[in-house]
Structure formats: C-alpha cells, structure tokens
Amino acid sequence: FFDHTFYCKKCAGIVSVNASPASPTDEQIRDVIERIIAEEAGSDVECRVSRLDLDGNGTDEALFRFPVGAHGSQTRVIRWVWDREEILFDEGRSTPSARFVLVNGTPAVLLEESDYEPDYVASTRTEQLFVWNGKWFAHVPEYDCVLEHHAYEHGGLTYYANLSDHCEPPREEIPWVSC
C-alpha cells in the first residue's frame, strides 16, 4: 500500500491520500470476466469466481478460474487498490481442473498437470499446490500429489476419474459461484 502527500491549492493545505485495497465490486468482477473471456478463454463455461480476504485486512480479493482451449484452465487472483487491479497470481495448466482450496486453513491455488501419456484420458495427473504466504502464492512441492486414476463402468460406458482423497495435507474447496 502507498501514501501520497501533496499540496491542495483549493483547500489551501497539505492533503494525504492513503491508497489501500478495496473489496471488488460486482462490476469490477464482471469487467475482469468479460476481458478474460474476450482475450483468453473464449467462453464462460466452467468459469468460477470466489471472493476471499486473503491477507486478513478486511477486504476481499477475487479468485478466478476459467477454461482455455480443449483441456486447459487458467487461474488469476486479483486485489484492487482503489480502482487499480493488482494481480497476485496468474498461471495455467493443461487440465480443466484448477481449484481454490484451503490447506490447513490457508488459501491455496490447486493446479492439475497432466503428462498426456499414453493419452489425455489415461494420463498421470499431479496436483500442484501454490499456498498463500501473506504476499503471494508460492509453490510448495512437498504438497504435490499424484492422483489415483480410477475407471468405472456405468450404463455400458467407461468413465474415468482422478481421485485426490489420499492427498496430504487435506484440501478443502473454497466456495465459488459460476461466472
């Protein structure tokens, strides 16, 4: 955060302005979503947004997840300082499974990476956690977890799921709404 002090002719004195974070308005969130869709995602299908006070200062930051391409996803975490956006996290991966979670009560971005071997459906997937450290989201490699690949039959069709119930520490999903 920053302070500016200047001389105001009209008020004949020194004025100090404190630029501090503010919770995003619905309009600011819609603007980001529209810009992301137009520039990167192309669609709001599977787009999600959460509001969360990451740093405990009483104002929310916005956490966005949106699809990119056939299988990818992009995440972005933004704080507003007055009307200026400050990006706190901006990364994508090759799967559509990005999520925002709590790990031991701390906000984290969960990104899923696929090795595409032998193909997308049967590939090995790894969850990577980026944990909030008070200033940014830092990758914590020891929290990465290889997902358990599970195939099951239903109605004559084979379905695949990647399970993370065994991953440690446990990940609790942060509430979100569709874009």
From first to last of the 179 residues of the chain, give the pLDDT tens digit.
Answer: 333 344 444 445 444 444 567 888 889 998 988 888 888 767 777 889 999 999 888 999 999 998 887 778 889 999 998 888 999 999 988 887 888 999 999 999 999 888 888 887 777 889 999 999 999 999 999 999 988 877 888 999 988 777 788 889 999 999 999 98
Report whether the peptide linkage leading into residue 118 is cis, meaning its omega lies within 30 degrees of zero: yes
Residue 39 — left, alpha, or beta (φ > 0 → left; ψ -120 to 50 → alpha)? Answer: alpha
In sequence order, which ranges of 14-133 are alpha helices (DSSP H)? Answer: 26-36
Residue 114, CA distances (Å) to 66, 74, 144, 153, 175 in order: 17, 14, 13, 23, 25
> Tokens 């906000």 identify what position?
107
> Tokens 């002719």 identify what position?
9
Is 1 strand, coil or helix? coil
pTM, whole model, 2 decimals?
Answer: 0.77
> Tokens 């004559």 identify what position?
156
Q: Please state, in angstroms and rounded to a whole number, the distance separating the CA atoms of residues 59 and 23.
A: 5
Give pLDDT, residue 50.
93
Q: Please state, in angstroms and rounded to a whole number, the distance separating the CA atoms of residues 22 and 60.
A: 7
